[in-house]
């Protein structure tokens, strides 16, 4: 057996052993979001409101403040306004759905009562799909589809309140900063249109602020 294989097996054994003796928190929740984004090349800004449903997981070794946090969520947003310099108007109607995934380190601050406050700062991966429809004067319609892959950072701060030996509740807030995006397809808004056949990087950044509430089990 090579040294590389030995190292992989040793790491796998250590990981399983650590997880088997730690504290696990599995939660399911929902959030409301305020999302603002800017395409820097077009100097185009769009603001959105939405919701997300999520599943999250926290692991902490016994009596140790550093652990692991992961989250996956699915949600929908509605464009509210869009703008370019010196002009702004109500956004064109469309359907926007997104899937978020984060995993990274988590820190907890504990109180004697069993309540603790986890703070996580993690890499973020975001997939977005957007559809819109344009009606023609002839009465027919054209359907447009736009997709994007984005990367950034998410910070997540909550408060875990144990309600029994098994169940807990967790209200909190999270903040996303997204600074990488590749896009393809056709976006049809009042101030921005695209027609891109393959994924292509674009100048972009966005901020998302969400308030959430989840319930879960600990084991």
Residue 14 resides in a domain = no
pLDDT tens digits along 60-99? 998 889 999 999 999 999 999 999 999 999 998 888 999 9
Residue 3 resides in a domain = no
* Strand, coil or helix: 14: helix
Weakest mean pLDDT among 26-30, 107-111, 136-140, 146-150: 136-140
Residue 13 resides in a domain = no
Residue 147 resides in a domain = yes
Q: Kindly report the CATH number assigned to the domain that includes residue 164.
A: 2.40.160.20
Place of tokens 């996303």: 176
Residue 168 resides in a domain = yes
Q: d(Cα 137, Cα 134) in Å, to the nearest integer?
A: 10
Residue 8 resides in a domain = no
Residue 85 resides in a domain = yes
Token pair for residue 151? Answer: 């990367």
- The structural domain count of the chain equals 1
Residue 12 resides in a domain = no
Q: Which domain holds residue 123?
A: 19-218
Q: d(Cα 74, Cα 55) in Å, to the nearest integer?
A: 9
pLDDT tens digits along 153-194? 999 999 999 999 899 999 999 999 999 999 999 999 999 999
Per-residue pLDDT for 105 more than 80? yes
């Amino acid at each position: 057996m090579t040294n590389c294989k030995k190292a992989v097996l040793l790491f796998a054994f250590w990981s399983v052993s650590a997880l088997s003796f730690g504290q696990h928190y599995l939660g399911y929740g929902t959030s409301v979001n305020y999302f603002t984004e800017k395409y820097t090349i077009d100097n185009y800004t769009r603001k959105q409101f939405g919701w997300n449903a999520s599943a999250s997981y926290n692991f902490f070794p016994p009596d140790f403040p550093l652990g692991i946090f992961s989250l996956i969520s699915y949600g929908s947003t509605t464009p509210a306004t869009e703008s370019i310099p010196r002009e702004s108007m109500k956004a064109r109607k469309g359907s926007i759905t997104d899937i978020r995934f984060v995993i990274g380190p988590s820190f907890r601050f504990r109180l004697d009562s069993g309540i603790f406050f986890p703070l996580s700062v993690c890499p973020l991966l975001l997939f977005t799909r957007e559809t819109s429809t344009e009606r023609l004067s002839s009465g027919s319609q054209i359907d447009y589809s736009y997709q994007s892959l984005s990367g950034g950072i998410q910070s997540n701060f909550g408060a875990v309140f144990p309600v029994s030996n098994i169940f807990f509740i967790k209200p909190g807030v999270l903040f996303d900063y997204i600074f990488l995006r590749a896009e393809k397809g056709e976006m049809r808004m009042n101030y921005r249109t695209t027609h891109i056949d393959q994924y292509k990087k674009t100048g972009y950044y966005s901020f998302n602020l969400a308030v959430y509430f989840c319930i879960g089990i600990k084991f």
